[in-house]
Amino acid sequence: MQRRLVLSIAIILLIIANTKATPSYYEVEAKTGDGIYSILRRFQLDKHSCNFDRFYTLNKLKRNARLIRGKTYSLPLMVYAFNGKTIRSSIGVDDWDLAITIQEYNEYMEEQGIRSSSFKKDKQLWVPYHMLNCPKQDREVPPPPPDMEQPEEVLSASGQREFPIFGKKYALTPLISNKLKGKVFYVVGGHGGPDPGAMGARGNYKLCEDEYAYDVALRFCRNLISHGATAYMVNRDPNDGIRSGKFLKCDTDEVLWGGVKMSTGQKTRLFQRSDIINELYLKHQKQGVTEQTAIMIHVDSRNKGERTDLFFYHHPDNNAGKKKAQKMLKTVKQQYRKYQKERQYQGTVTARDLHMLRECTLPGVYVELANIRNTYDQQRIIVERNRQLLADWLLLGVMN
């Protein structure tokens, strides 16, 4: 009887010893600007395709799906209960080198501040999914500058960079140069949502400031990205990419970065924008980014008979913003000489205490494209080629 009992206990212990622990998956809440690539990169999971496959499976998502700010997602990062003895016995493996790799991963996550404490203290051992299932690296992911990814980017089936925000025709955005590598820009088209901004008329057509400012802003943002910058479209339209034609339909479906609905109150709406920019600014500042700029693009409204050239505002107390505005003015003035030799350019740089210049904690430049009520100025924004030229000139201004 006693011998039989000892044998039973031995069998039970053998079964326990050979039974692998069952892990859970680490969960994380998506923040403003987060995408699948950026989250996996943050946890050092982006070099293995099986991690992406597992992420889609765990969260029941389609490939290249957009993440929703504030929603919780499961990562391909398994969490085992650490038994206080060894990593191998905790997860049920015998591989010594693998155990060392897992230990180093946990220690690195702690050093980076992603883990709040050591796995030896909280008894929570993090094991990346790929370490147990597909240890060979099979993704060549070019490191964004510096450790950043393009916020709008998805990869096409052929591996090319696509940015859906620009619309089907312009989504594919090749990298032309790295002249703006390491710089971050926040591009804001004026007004939007419940506020169309300044209004003009051309025959029977209604001209809304927010639509034309947004189209130029999109083109400018695409230019920035094509030269290596990291660029955010802060306000965004889910349907309207870069558009052709003279008359852009007015609508009210624009939202803000992260899918934030625009408030109906003007003051709240402005703070929504500046708060989003400030949050992203701090994120990139912690990454070591030294140059970040906000560019606000508007269309002015004045007396119908008054013509205005492209002009710029900066905040009175922000010398960096002033210098950027002056460089942009100088560049635009040079471009005007090429295209309009018969008329002297009258653009200006002026200090103004505007909300988006005052409340954003980084240098900002406020651009006014034209007088939307003046017949001649309207040509500058309703002609598609002119809208592209404006975006090209603004790019030259920040590159210079």
- The whole-number pLDDT of residue 15 equals 47
Pick out the chain residues at pLDDT < 70: 1-21, 32-34, 64, 139-150, 154-159, 340-343
Instruction: Give per-residue burial for 317-355: e unless 16+ CB within 10 Å, then b.
Output: ebeebbebbebbbebbbebbeeeeeeeebebebeeeebe
Domains of the chain by start residue, with CATH: 20-133 (no CATH), 154-399 (3.40.630.40)
Q: pLDDT tens across 299-342, in order?
A: 999 999 999 999 999 999 999 999 999 999 999 999 988 876 66
Measured distance CA(293)–CA(100) in Å, rounded: 43
- The whole-number pLDDT of residue 65 equals 73
- The whole-number pLDDT of residue 275 equals 93
Q: pLDDT tens across 14-31, in order?
A: 444 444 568 999 999 987
**pTM recorded for the entire structure:** 0.65
